[in-house]
Chains A and B, each alone.
Chain A
Amino acid sequence: SAVISQKPSRDICQRGTSLTIQCQVDSQVTMMFWYRQQPGQSLTLIATANQGSEATYESGFVIDKFPISRPNLTFSTLTVSNMSPEDSSIYLCSVFGLANYEQYFGPGTRLTVT
Chain B
Amino acid sequence: QQQVKQSPQSLIVQKGGIPIINCAYENTAFDYFPWYQQFPGKGPALLIAIRPDVSEKKEGRFTISFNKSAKQFSLHIMDSQPGDSATYFCAAPRAYQRWSDSSYKLIFGSGTRLLVRP
Contacts and interface: CB of A to CB of B under 8 A. Distances in A.
A92 B36 CA distance: 14
Contact of B44 (A33, A92, A101): A92
A43 B4 CA distance: 12
B105 A45 contact: yes
Given A43-B108, A45-B105, A98-B104, A105 B45 contact: yes
B108 A103 contact: no
A103 B34 contact: yes
Interface in A83-107: 92, 96, 98, 101-107
Contacts of A108: 42-43
Chain A: interface secondary structure? strand
Contact of A92 (B43, B46, B104, B111): B43
B104 A96 contact: yes
Contacts of A101: 30, 32, 49, 51, 93, 104
A48 interface: yes
Contact of B43 (A45, A48, A107): A107
A13 interface: no
Contacts of B32: 101
A90 B9 CA distance: 20
Interface in A16-62: 31, 33, 41-43, 45, 48, 50, 56
Nearest to A107: B43
Nearest to B113: A40
A105 B44 contact: yes
Nearest to A101: B32
B25 interface: no
Nearest to B106: A103
B46 A103 contact: yes
Q: Across the A-B interface, give the 9 residue pairs with the lowest CB-CB distance, nearest first.
A: A105-B43, A101-B32, A43-B108, A107-B43, A108-B43, A105-B44, A42-B108, A42-B110, A42-B111
